[in-house]
A and B are shown apart, each in its own frame.
Chain A
């Protein structure tokens, strides 16, 4: 029967050949369990633990009992690993291995001999470690989401404030433009008025020649007897009245 050391050495070779990454015990966050297992590997996101078993007794019942206990111990620490294997000597007959226990627990069985290493039962992903990791990540994500939401709310308030300010400024600018236009117009009128002053005497003289509507001769037909003429002449005065 192969020794424990040989089993561990062959296992290491076996997993490395398959592209698994070898992990040192210090890299795992499960210091107290390091003693329970012999090898640790990483395959992608999965952390794999391997325990080498060499029977102390040759009695089948004793071996089965020991392996059952190993399965129970492994289940206690399933939150730390994604997959677990138990490696047994090749010479150990399958009759002595409680296959149904290992199968239902998802623990894999590898047989190790001098010439070969063979996976007899594939390990199933235990799921707990990832679930716990996911929960941790989910909590972190929720925290980030909450912070982002607060930030977005604050930014939204700032943007609204800025929009209101811009709107107010636009209104002020429009008012200023209108006032400026009125001022420009008044300046223009004042400037022209200065040059009109000379003509004042003439205009006063003209006032005496104003023609009353009642005596509108020489006007086209559409003006004579037109009620709009007197109505329009009172535009502005009717408001005052």
Chain B
């Protein structure tokens, strides 16, 4: 009979290191969330001199208080992760990761509990995080523990495994799509690392096409505000069942498909008018950046998703999600593949697309889109969204923290187990 000791229940802790957000916390319905970024205070700034700030890097909600001009944002506001990866020799970026991690752990340190001897921390990283990232994350936790005594043991799991755990599915393919990248991981009790496929695209591509659309419609002055672009994307973006048919429908019934977005708390209103058919490009680019309609945007300078090399195979950056899933499954044992197709799980904020009422004939959600793409390849698959796309990674990591036994020690061969600090 398996069991969870009370200490573990109280002090299991999970961390989801996403490209744009850091989600963290002990066992709960959902985690705390802060932006995965830091504001670096230069000693030259007046703020530093007048206020006499002692810390060099600000993280968490406090960051917005330090944002001044757009030039300050560009220079001092740093997002340490790109496509789920922190550059090995980027000292500043790792300092920010350290500060963010410390912020998260110290926020939940129990006060006045003499039994507290540190959290069991499970950190979730990209499926393709290189070994040095594992080493750095362990070092960071070790340092925080030396300074504050808040980490008993730490482990790292790939984000897709965490999703499978949160979805209570032991055999599946997890498609995890965040801001910077999309990872396709077959899982059967363990991640099947040989089948992992990573695509260098995610929500950022949808943001990029949204920015182009805003520029084309006379709202170019708004595009430096990334948060605003993201809000527009989430508000008006749609996934088409079939892009060409959806564009025709939108052109034929302009009023029905008209895209209007009023920025909350401001007088700014965005109206695409006759170009409202462009809202379908926002969803399509996530699943099919190969469509010929995007060629003119690439020629104009919008970045084309980069190819990935896995072993000796080149995966085109613009491959459809459906084809990428099929390629991933083909790298697993033949008799396992039908089981994998029975459960394809889509996770990550990049799959959180809604279908407004009345648009069901032209628009669809992410699961339906992937099902359509796989059916076009002759594959009958069951595709579902995570019940909670935003927090499924964190949830899976919490289960891992709760359940894995204390004596299962870290192994660099398996890339699993507890790295014990005390």
Contact = CB atoms under 8 A, between A and B. Distances in A.
A136 interface: no
Contacts of B7: 203, 206
Contact of A222 (B166, B409, B416, B421): B166
What range describes how many residues of A lie at the interface?
A: 35 or more
Given A211-B3, A220-B28, A235 B168 contact: no
A107 B416 CA distance: 96
B117 interface: yes
What range describes how many residues of B lie at the interface?
A: 35 or more
Interface string B165-208: 11010100000000000000000010000000000000000000
Given A232-B404, A233-B404, A235-B416, A207 B5 contact: yes
- From DSSP, what is the main secondary structure of chain A's interface residues? helix
Given A222-B168, A235-B404, A206 B399 contact: no
Contacts of B75: none
B111 to A, nearest CB: 18
A196 B117 contact: yes
Given A206-B7, A211-B6, A225-B168, A232 B395 contact: no
A228 interface: yes
B403 A192 contact: no
Interface in B384-416: 388, 395-396, 398-400, 402-405, 407-409, 416
Given A192-B422, A199-B115, A227-B170, A232 B403 contact: yes
A223 interface: yes
A101 interface: no
Given A222-B388, A233-B3, A236-B407, 13 more contacts: A191-B422, A192-B422, A199-B117, A202-B115, A210-B5, A211-B3, A212-B1, A213-B2, A213-B3, A227-B168, A228-B165, A228-B396, A235-B408
Interface of A: 185, 188-189, 191-193, 196, 199, 202-203, 206-207, 209-214, 216, 219-220, 222-223, 225-237
23 contacts: A188-B421, A191-B422, A210-B6, A213-B2, A213-B3, A214-B1, A220-B27, A222-B168, A226-B165, A226-B168, A228-B164, A228-B396, A229-B4, A229-B399, A232-B165, A232-B400, A232-B403, A232-B404, A233-B2, A233-B403, A235-B417, A236-B409, A237-B405
